Structure 1
Amino acid sequence: MSQQPLPPVLFEALHRGERHIGFGRPEPGTPHTLYRVPEGALAAAVIATDGSPAALRAALTEGAATVTVPGDDPELRPLAPLLPTRAGDALLSGFMGTHTKKWGGQRAPEDGEFTPPKWFFKGFGDWVRLPGEPLTVPAAPVALIEEPEIALVYVNDSDGTPRYAGYTFGNDLCDIGLHRQDPGYNPYCKLCDTALSPWLFLGPPPRSATGRVTIVRDGATAWEGGFDCGGDALYFRIGDMAEHLFSFPAVRRPGLVNYVLLGADEASFHDGFRIADGDRIAIDVKSHGVAFENAVRYVSPSPLPAPAEPWA
């Protein structure tokens, strides 16, 4: 693991159907204390405080009922950070072509006009999948690609001002082959599930976030390779990208949670590998001690019923 100091971590989870907050990451067989909180408590604490770990801990634990459980308690079900229950109260989106590898190793000049990267809408917050859950894709993708990325987490206050909560990591699975057929197909390309880790790092986006991807097929490693998705690996400065995105009123609706993906390094597709139905994608962000795995599932929806006759 990297020697860079890591910020504190918190997480939200359901335990016996009730929402709780935990600090640090639970370890199997080790007791872990959870704090009972109402839905939206973490978002409210981010808005009401300066967002520091100490302030959040004080706001979330004072007077809260506690329960101590084993870290591998089967009744402990982690949630995506700040995820609201109501569909549409969180958005998942991200930036494309952000890495220096795609810009000849260069970085955006410090002076001069900012030219923003391309942006995509991935889905609503309840479309997010957690580690261990399958990632579904259309039944006949052209060529899938895994994309290990940093995901920034924001919640808007009552005036619509975005408040930064922290960051986590995800896998933005998509059909890059479809995109390469025609960049105008990119909205279709992104209609594949995305996984997010439940661990929220309470600090600024990392300058370095390195790790390794392993794709397992039929119980054996079919492909593996490294990645770097930290800020130093990006052509664009993170602050510039975020400022531009939040200049649009549509993403500043009061109370809205935004998960913002910062883009991915080159991956298995660029090495000539093709992800198949049933493959398991394991992402190990070694610099941060975060590892998660999801299986890929091709899905064939039932055919649509024949349309009704048009009105005369």
Structure 2
Amino acid sequence: MLLIQYIDVHHTRRVGILDQDRITAIDGFATTLALAQHAIDSGSALEQLARDHAGSATESYAAVLAAGRLLAPIDHPDPAHCYVTGTGLTHLGSADTRDAMHKKIGGAVEALSDSMKMFRMGVEGGKPQSGEAGVQPEWFYKGDGSIVRTTGATIPMPAFALDGGEEPEIAGLYLVGPDGAPCRVGYAIGNEFSDHVTERQNYLYLAHSKLRNCAVGPALLVGELPAHVAGTSRIIGVDGAVRWEKPFLSGEQNMSHTIANLEHHHFKYPLFQRPGDVHIHFFGTATLSFADNISVQSGEAFEIEAPVFGPPLRNQLSVLDAAPVKVKTL
């Protein structure tokens, strides 16, 4: 099942079931958050709860998108209570990429870069037995709910950024229950969006490179993630033509970590067990246009799609005006 959030023709916020181009509104719940909270409180399965409350009102997805009425698949009324985070060095990539990567991480550990050591650790210990904790992944903070964009929205890049490049990833979407237990609401396709030039200068700049906007959606996939997810990432030029295109792979079959291990190492911190908080956590990727020496320009667009997640995620890049910051003394 795919769920989306949108504004209907009566200017009312809704959550609905997406099937091809048809959106069926869910009665009694205005948001994904409210639906998920009720599922937790009632002990109901989210998919069944959505089906039980499916109403008669329907709309065209294409019409909602064209009118700019589409929302991100999950959010929080207070953006500060939505954490956006991620993990890196988690994906094995294509067969050629895997072969090259295994050659890079072979031999003496001391000869490897810190990044390759981290990747090797994941390959060797990122898929523990059920109930056990595996090796920790690379982890980073991106921001709060205010940085999340939906499909059709512009992704703004700071004027001080050295690059604005896509990262086609799957994100886990979560709500922390009243007992502090994290509950996975579902998954969504996402563009994690980073400054790869800044990161390449020195890996200690990773934190700086990740403090950027991102995009998620348009739909939320309820249930378990397929072991193999195949999609396509594109850069669309200002003339509307495809400037760069490449397939990407995700799902545990194509990862060095299990989803459970990534979730454990995020939610093991009490800070991330606060009841009522929403979490959007990116699981990583092995496919970047930056790796093919593509520099995305303002006005060009990112397009990321994978059939299991329904419609594609598409966002145009823009550059913000420079805004010098000066701290005042009180």
How does the TM-score come out when normalised to structure 2?
0.81
Counterpart position of 1:13: 6
Query: Paired residue for 1:279?
Result: 300
Query: Are positions 1:45 and 2:38 aligned together?
Result: yes
Q: CA separation in 2, counterparts of 1:281 and 1:154? A: 25
Q: Is the 8 A contact 2:133 2:261 kept in 1?
A: no
Distance 2:59 2:282 in 1: 32
SS in structure 2 opposite 1:225?
A: strand
Instruction: Please list the CA deviations of residues 152-176 of structure 1 after superposition, one character each: whole Å capped at 9, or x if unmatched.
Output: 1110111111011111110011001
When structure 1 is superposed on structure 2, of 243-252 and 13-22 the one drifting more is 13-22
Q: Cα distance, 1:24 vs. partner?
A: 2.3
SS in 1 for 2:153: coil
Distance 1:190 1:196 in 2: 15
Matched residues in 1 for 2:180 and 2:229: separation?
30
Give SS of 1:126's match: helix
Q: Which residue of 2 aligns with 1:228?
A: 249
Which residue does 2:57 correspond to in 1? 67
Bigger drift between 70-79 and 95-104 goes to 70-79
Corresponding residue SS for 2:45: coil
Amino acid at match of 2:34: A
Q: 2:316 aligns with which of 287, 290, 295?
A: 295
Residue type of the partner of 2:58?
T
Asked if structure 1 preserves the Cα contact closer than 8 Å seen for 2:68 and 2:152, the reply is no
Distance 1:150 1:92, change over 3 A: same
Over the residues paired in the alignment, what is the CA RMSD in angstroms?
2.6
Q: Which residue of 2 aligns with 1:266?
A: 287
Is the contact made by 2:218 and 2:311 (CA closer than 8 Å) also made in structure 1? no
Q: TM-score, normalised by structure 1?
A: 0.85
2:189 pairs with one of 169, 184, 188: 169
Pairwise mapping of residues 130-149 of structure 1 onto structure 2 (< 5 A)?
A: 130-149=150-169
Aligned-residue offset at 1:33? 4.3
Per-residue deviation, 1:290: 3.2
The structure-2 alpha-carbon separation of the partners of 1:26 and 1:14, relative to structure 1 and needing over 3 Å to count, comes to farther
Does 2:80 match 1:88?
yes
One-letter amino acid of the counterpart of residue 82, structure 2: A
1:136: how far off? Answer: 0.9
Distance change >3 Å, CA 248–CA 70, structure 1 → 2: same
Give yes or no for contact 1:91–1:125 (8 Å, CA) kept in 2.
yes
Task: Give ranges in structure 1 of 5+ residues lacking alignment.
Answer: 1-7
After TM superposition, give the deviation of residue 204 of structure 1 in Å. Answer: 1.3
- 1:244 paired with 2:244, answer no
Q: Does the C-alpha gap of structure 1 residues 272 and 246 become closer, same or farther in structure 2, counting only changes over 3 Å?
A: same
- Identity over aligned pairs, percent: 26
Match of 2:206 in 1: 186
Q: What is residue 219 of structure 2 aligned with on the other side?
A: 199
Deviations, residues 42-69 of structure 1 (Å, cap 9, x unaligned):
12123123434113433x45xxx75333
8 A contact 2:155–2:213 mirrored in 1: yes
Q: In the superposition, relative to structure 1, how do residues 282 and 31 fare at CA in structure 2: closer, same or farther (>3 Å)?
A: closer
Change beyond 3 A, Cα 1:46–1:265:
farther
Is residue 168–residue 198 contact of structure 1 (8 Å, CA) maintained in 2?
yes
1:51 partner amino acid: A
Q: Which has the higher helix share?
A: 2
**Structure 2, unaligned runs of 5 or more:** 103-119
Partner Cα separation in structure 1 for residue 146 and residue 19 of structure 2 = 23
Return closer, same or farther for 1:134/1:38 CA change in 2, 3 Å cut-off. Answer: closer
Letter in structure 2 aligned against 1:210 = A
The separation in 2 between residues aligned to 1:120 and 1:214, in whole angstroms, is 25
- CA distance 1:68–1:55, change in 2 (3 Å): closer
| CA–CA distance in structure 2, aligned partners of residues 204 and 31 of structure 1 | 22
Tell me: CA distance 1:44–1:260, structure 2 relative to 1, closer, same or farther (3 Å). same
Three-state SS of the structure 2 residue aligned to 1:232 is helix
More moved, 265-274 vs 100-109: 100-109
- How much has 1:263 moved relative to structure 2? 0.3
Following the alignment from structure 1 to structure 2, what is the Cα–Cα distance between the partners of residues 82 and 293? 17
**1:304 aligned partner:** 325
Cα distance in 1 for partners of 2:199, 2:61 equals: 41
Instruction: Output one character per residue of 1:72-92: Cα deviation in whole Å (capped at 9) or x when no partner.
Output: 444672322331221212111
Q: AA paired with 1:191?
A: L
For residues 84 and 176 of structure 2, what CA distance do their matches in structure 1 show?
A: 14
Which residue does the alignment assign to 2:105? none
